[in-house]
Structure 1
């Protein structure tokens, strides 16, 4: 079977592994930073257990938002319907949709964490504080996800690498790291830890 070759590389496993293996090694090293940050925040997370419950959702949702936008941008590249143009209304609509989704998700996370904290942990953290931590962290992560989605998609395309192969690993790993660092930093600042 002959696989047609386009301008963005091939579908041969050697090409994909050759492009991805070095990238995955670098991204694995970067993700260690998130683990180190989490370990350094062990005391705060032990004292305010509800924050430890929020960590996986915070990190996961940021990566998911970036993956959604990266996927949409990659699809538009493959269809030939996009270019880097600040006047492109569809690009701005995608950015606004990601920000609106982030605001909804991180508001729900703050409210859900508070409810869970009252039911299970008898949390001393006020609803307004949890909402502030969740929204400031979440919206910051969403902006980072948007920036890295654009950078990874356009960078891959410019290098002649299929954005479908590179964008989601890059965006999710980078957003995981920044998501963890931002969440821990905002939490520590707000709780004066």
Structure 2
């Protein structure tokens, strides 16, 4: 494993370095997140027709980002402890990925059931199998994207000598939020035949 020099040590806290690294990144991420807002605005008609989907949007987007943040934090910790090199044969690494994907299945299944029950109360009923299909296809796609970007952001930050704790969560949550929105709207439109 390559260890950064003392001048660029990942363990050194320096607000100027953090702001210098993060400001351009946050500008780019803000522009990317704008895409999610445009996608949501373009789906306004579908969300009005199927109000329960509008209720699912925040949870879908938020949970994808949270799953990515969990994995990013675990990877960052392993880098700081010197216990990983992102070796594909590392069983603990795959156990973390498996845990995130299992959590995703649980969360997105619960989201479908919760949305179905709430839909019955507010009169926006979409059949449970349809909600399960939308929730699981969207959610698992977002979870896979969260895993990929967690690895890329953590490994890339570390290799560039930037503390992964400073960069991974903003990168992963913003990118996954955007993809989560786009995938959820796309899958919903396809499944509902719109």
TM-score w.r.t. length of structure 1: 0.96
What are the Cα deviations for residues 144-183 of structure 1, in whole angstroms up to 9, with x where unaligned? 0000000000000000000000000000000000000000
- 2-side partners of 1:12 and 1:67: how far apart? 23
Superposition pairs for residues 1-193 of structure 1, below 5 Å?
Answer: 7-8=9-10, 10-120=12-122, 122-193=123-194
User: 8 Å contact 1:33–1:177 — kept in the other structure?
Assistant: yes
Give the conservation status (yes or no) of the 8 Å contact 2:111–2:135: yes
Relative to the length of structure 2, the TM-score reads 0.95
Question: Structure 1: which 4+ aligned runs deviate by more than 2 Å?
Answer: 4-10
3-state SS of paired residue (1:125): coil
Aligned length: 189
CA contact (8 A) 2:52 2:125 kept: no
State the Cα distance separating 1:12 from its structure 2 match.
1.2
Question: Which residues of structure 2 form unaligned runs of 5+?
Answer: 1-5
Q: Deviations over 1:85-141 (max 9, x none)?
A: 110000000000000000000000000000000012x22310000010000000000
- Structure 1: stretches of 5+ with no match in the other structure: none
